[in-house]
Chains A and B, each alone.
Chain A
Amino acid sequence: MIAAPAMLSSVLALAEGPLDAHAAPELRWAGLALLLPLISGVLCLLCGWMKVRSKLPAALTIAALGGAFATILRLQGAVGETPVVINLFDWISWTWGDGSRFHGFTANVDLYIDRLTVFWMLFVTGLGTLIALYASEYMESDVGKGYTRFFGAVSIFLFAMGCLVMGGNLVMLYLGWEGVGLASYLLIGYYFTKPEAVAAAKKAFIVNRIGDLGLALALFLIWQCYGTVEYAALWKAIEAAPASSEWTAQAIPWLLMLGAFGKSAQLPLYVWLPDAMEGPTPVSALIHAATMVTAGVYLIARMFPLFIVNPDALAAVAWVGGLTALLAATIGMAQYDMKRIWAYSTISQLGYMFLGLGVGTTFGASYHVFTHAFFKALLFLTAGAVMHGFAGQLDIRKLSGLLKVPGFRLVSLLAVLGCFWLAAFPFTAAFFSKDEILVSAFTAKDERVHVLGWIGLVVAALTAYYTFRVGFRVFFGPVKYEPGDEHHGHDDHQDHGHDHGHAHGSHGASAAHGGHGHHGEFHPHGPRWAIRVPLVLIAVGAMLAGWPSYRTMLNHGEPNWVKTQVAQSSAYQGVAAESHGSHDDHAAAPTAAEGEHAHADHGHLVLGMDAHTAVGRLGSLACIAGILVSLYLHLINRGAADALRRTLMGSIATRWIVVGAERKWLVDEFYDWVIRLPLRLVANILSAIDELLLDAGIVNGIGALPAAFGRLFRPLYGGVVQGYAVTMAGGVALVAAWVIWIWLRGAN
């Protein structure tokens, strides 16, 4: 409540336009967050050129990302309630005609710093730094060319992500959007000698391209409708003329949505993300779980003023998010590859975020992005540590009881903690953020999306089940493991967990793989400090991510920190007025106006209870039920899981469930038949036309003409010099005779 006057002034300021950098001298270093990763990217390129064979690229990248993080931390302290535009340099500035609103196009290299920007960059750069540190050890078997390439691409990614989030106009956002796509492509295809990795990289790039087309078209239409692509001017233009009924204005949110669905792996375009797991695990953690895939959420949150005026578009976002969450969760339940399960869980959690956006809680969506970034990075990185130690083994049927394997105790412990977060166990960070989204779904003004709340609860139970399916199988139970088929070139097997791995592994299946390496038996090697430290720090971060909610819960009246961050940005423009407002304890509402709405909203009841209480209880129930089922099937009686699968497979009526979920509901095959096959047919036809008509017919045909003409005269050249001489002399004689004849005729 105290914040209300300040908030009011900030809303006014939003409308009046942002301050420039002179008004905020503390912010003038913001450009460093972009510049440092760029510099380290260039230096990595130099390292590659100079054939550096040390860990220097990693050190450079970690230093640069750390610097960027420090810059953002400093910004966090300095940024006020008013957005600030910092002009780095002028880039595009065209005017024509009289130079009025629709007769000019300006896109400078500006930074638009408001609290949403800083909030987003905080976990992007923070996690980036930690994951780069992790990767410095994880990638060490590739020191040299590959190492340099890896860290160069990571630097480029962070630079592009910075452009995307901090850019002051849509052109910068688009630049960053394509830049992160490029970095993602380079890193998925990191093992470019592996055909699957190359195919996955191409798939990711091409599927993203479809979304990017939507974003590009949206950008064009935004200029056409509002005459500007700069955020500051755009908000003013939208405020002046909020809802045009012209189709161009109506199409903008739909096109933006397409872009967001591509980048954030939502329903029609999600297929690239599971395959993207072909990249090195730190990349999966950083790009394909924590940061890049949230760009779509950021896009919609940033562009929320365009969505809020179009309830149909918002409902579509909500439905796509909810259905994606459900579909991905069902697939995740039936996979056996640990990284793949986490990939589907990422898609599912992103579905939650879009559900949140669609029901109007940009706060809930951003909060979930924030909490998800930490625990999903943690889960991927622990999976990576396991994979690193067990020669690429990721099959959850072939790993068991890792909590008891020396060298893996810490990793396993952190992974299990991560499972609790992903399952949204009561009073973990994800519990609060998911709660926020589901409550909004139940209380949304738009009746069409209420059912999504129930879907969300079902997905919560499924999530808890598949999360702990991995947790119980891999980290609990009897010690048993088989190594994968990748043999890292490490010589440190002897000193890390050598004896213990030997002792424990011997009663597992590893004896069957006795021929592995020269030791006769496989010895898992535990991670060292550069993997352990980031893991612990990220786990601490995941714990702290719930901090704002704890504070709100403990002392009523204190606004949720994340909420204040999101509220003082474009993501909240119009939300308070248009949407259902806050259903949160109203004291936490950052504006007085919203607080009043909150009162009005208490009419929404779920199962006869206040929506907030009901969702909290149902969510906890769903989570615990999922965990208990998982506990029985995957720890206490593992045979029962196989028996259940056999039973389901035995009957025609239920067989499809198992086959469908295990084969990812055949979506890839469906796309193969419906899109790739026709395209390939057309390509083959065109290729045949090219080969037969253009190449063979026209090009080679014209080429053959002189040869055929020459063949006519070839008999004249028989190889007898005198023959040529006679021809020549005869020719000369003929010409002479002709000349003389002309001359004689002329003389007459």
Chain B
Amino acid sequence: MNPIDPQLPPGDPLVMLGLLASAILFAVGIVGFLSRRNMITMFLCTELMFQGAGLAMISYGRQHMDLSGQVFVIFILTVAAAEAALALGLVVLLYRRKETLSAEAWKELAES
């Protein structure tokens, strides 16, 4: 559409594959997150969703012939690593309080 923006023709197989994989990763992540009660598993599921989103970015980057998508993902991975350390630390603290990893144990934080 934009003449300055070079684009692969629609239906590039690698892009399609990447997008499909990203959709699958995201769906697996969301289903896992919704169905499990173990906080570490739930955290891993969020990581899966994360990576799904990252893969979608890389795929679109290829579609648009642009490296920004990949650069972005490098940054996201860095931030995700830091965030993972933080989240696991939180999980450890929560475990120490209740001697269980179940998210059900923290229901009392509800509004009502």
Contact = CB atoms under 8 A, between A and B. Distances in A.
A717 interface: yes
A714 B112 CA distance: 6
Interface in A710-740: 714-715, 717-722, 725-726, 729
B99 interface: no
Contacts of B60: none
Interface string B47-65: 0000000000000000000
A101 B112 CA distance: 75
Contact of B34 (A717, A719, A725): A725
Contact of A721 (B30, B42, B108): B42
B79 interface: no
Nearest to B42: A721
Contacts, number: 33
A726 B111 CA distance: 17
A715 B107 contact: no
B104 interface: yes
Contacts of A729: 30, 34
A722 B34 contact: yes
A718 B34 contact: no
B109 interface: yes
Interface in B14-70: 30, 33-35, 37, 42
B106 interface: yes
A743 to B, nearest CB: 14
B55 to A, nearest CB: 18
A718 B112 contact: yes
A121 to B, nearest CB: 75
Contacts of B103: 720-722
A718 B110 contact: yes
B111 A714 contact: yes
B111 A717 contact: yes
A719 B33 contact: no
A714 B111 CA distance: 6
Given A720-B107, A721-B42, A721-B103, A715 B112 contact: yes
Interface string A5-36: 00000000000000000000000000000000
A719 B104 CA distance: 8
Contacts of A722: 33-35, 37, 103
A474 to B, nearest CB: 78
A717 B110 contact: yes
A721 B34 CA distance: 8
Nearest to B104: A720
Contact of B33 (A714, A717, A720, A725): A725
A715 B30 CA distance: 23
A719 B42 CA distance: 16
Contacts of A718: 107, 110, 112
B34 A726 contact: yes
Contact of A717 (B42, B106, B112): B112
B31 to A, nearest CB: 10
A498 B37 CA distance: 92
Interface in A666-688: none
Contacts of B110: 717-719
Contacts of B112: 714-715, 717-719
Contacts of B108: 719
A715, A717, A719, A720 — most chain B CB neighbours (10 Å): A719
Contact of A719 (B30, B35, B37, B107): B107
A719 B35 CA distance: 15
A722 B35 CA distance: 8
A722 B104 CA distance: 10
Contacts of B42: 721
B7 to A, nearest CB: 18
Nearest to B31: A729
A722 B34 CA distance: 5
A276 B110 CA distance: 63
B37, B108, B111 — most chain A CB neighbours (10 Å): B111
19 contacts: A714-B111, A714-B112, A717-B110, A717-B111, A718-B107, A718-B112, A719-B106, A719-B107, A719-B110, A719-B111, A720-B103, A720-B107, A722-B33, A722-B34, A722-B35, A725-B30, A726-B34, A729-B30, A729-B34
Those 7 A-B pairs whose CB atoms lie nearest each other, nearest first: A719-B110, A719-B107, A717-B111, A721-B103, A714-B112, A714-B111, A722-B34
Given A717-B111, A722-B35, 7 more contacts: A718-B107, A718-B110, A719-B106, A719-B110, A719-B111, A722-B37, A729-B34
